[in-house]
Structure 1
């Protein structure tokens, strides 16, 4: 709910500015966007962090990058390089960190009620068989992930909630055919789809999936 409110406030703010611009009331929307576009990164970071407890590295990174860029735009901070020039070296650093971390081979089989999982410059397959599944926090950067929940079940507290950030990669979430799934997300040069079977599924959702997709894709489905 907090994520939806933050996103709603951002959309409302830009809608009001657009209306004032169209009415000729001295608001130059193009100039405002050029000067304040880093606030979009800040908003996305806040949306990630507003989801509650769990893995929030992606939200912190986006929030930090947005604040630095906005300070530069405002003349408060002078960066000697463009932020886009930092993408490649930062990616190399992340790759080095990933190579130093211990990695399990093959499919990871778990029975955790809450799943924290990331995929950095690699592919990860996770099968979770918890009979009291409550949710997951997923982070995919320059890689791919498959989360298979078909061997598990949701506990008494419904809905379970999955929050995922997918950047420059892809993710598949597999769920049992009996689950009612509701998917929402913020696609930024990316997309998501809910391919679960909707037939005969009325009432409240068993699983809620909230996504932020940046130059990537995510599918929620019943079969591979």
Structure 2
């Protein structure tokens, strides 16, 4: 029973961190999936409490492998996180099958290859619609961000007066993006974030309207800006989307 409730607490933490975001449209399938999974977990706990299934099932259901599969299922409905969800489901299913069939699989020998496979697939399938360009140092006037930091750090200042958003990927790395001297393009501008065991710092002026629509799992996004005035209704939006998994995003201003 202790193993069951430990899994339950972990799942509750997952649900709590995943829903710490602004309101989503009615077609938020991630919330629907999380709700269904929570109901399913409640049913499994009731079955376990009344000993209605063999004890052996517990060691397969309430495991870290199953938790990976659950996280993958939650992420999969979101198009931007579909590759991440698929890879997590595949890794969890592989190790769960190895445990079920008692295959001689050494987790210590497969962990890092699995991590590298996860990173490689995420970059490979996530890059098909992206326009890659060499990294620039110092101040740049690009309208779009398109940066990847793996086991490293990026520090970039943008001066574009028509900033449109872009993509930032931090995997075991970090980045600092300074938008103090930039201005957003009119309308809705989206930055797609992927932080896995990584951190990103965004320096954004206080007169920018920032909306956070990030899925956070054992991580988070914090807006530490000092806001001095109410913004007008026609203020351009900077929308942060994506996934923060065992990482963090900090928003601040000078």
TM-score of the two chains, using structure 2 as the length reference: 0.64
Q: Return the match for 2:147 from 106, 112, 117.
A: 117
**In 2, Cα distance between equivalents of 1:85 and 1:10:** 33
Q: CA separation of 1:216/1:72 partners in 2, compared to 1, >3 Å: closer, same or farther?
A: closer
SS of residue in 2 equivalent to 1:196: coil
Q: Does 1:140 align with 2:170?
A: yes
Matches within 5 A, 1:213-224: 213-223=244-254
Per the TM alignment, residue 37 of structure 1 is displaced from its structure 2 partner at its CA by 2.5
**In 2, Cα distance between equivalents of 1:87 and 1:147:** 31
Give the structure with the higher percent helix.
Answer: 2
The residue that corresponds to 2:239 in the other structure is: 208
Per the TM alignment, residue 33 of structure 1 is displaced from its structure 2 partner at its CA by 4.3
Q: Does 1:88 align with 2:112?
A: yes
8 Å Cα contact 1:110/1:126 also seen in 2: no
The residue that corresponds to 1:196 in the other structure is: 225
Deviation sequence 1:125-171 (CA, Å, 0-9, x none): 1222222222121110111101112221111222x111211122211
8 Å Cα contact 1:107/1:124 also seen in 2: no
Q: Which runs of 5+ in 1 are unaligned?
A: 95-101
Larger-Rg structure: 2
**In 1, Cα distance between equivalents of 2:101 and 2:192:** 33
Matches within 5 A, 1:29-44: 32-34=61-63, 36-43=66-73
Q: Which runs of 5+ in 2 are unaligned?
A: 1-23, 120-132
**In 2, Cα distance between equivalents of 1:139 and 1:44:** 20
**In 2, Cα distance between equivalents of 1:79 and 1:44:** 28
The residue that corresponds to 1:107 in the other structure is: 138
Q: Which has the bigger relative contact order, CA under 8 A and spacing at least 6?
A: 2
The residue that corresponds to 2:182 in the other structure is: 152
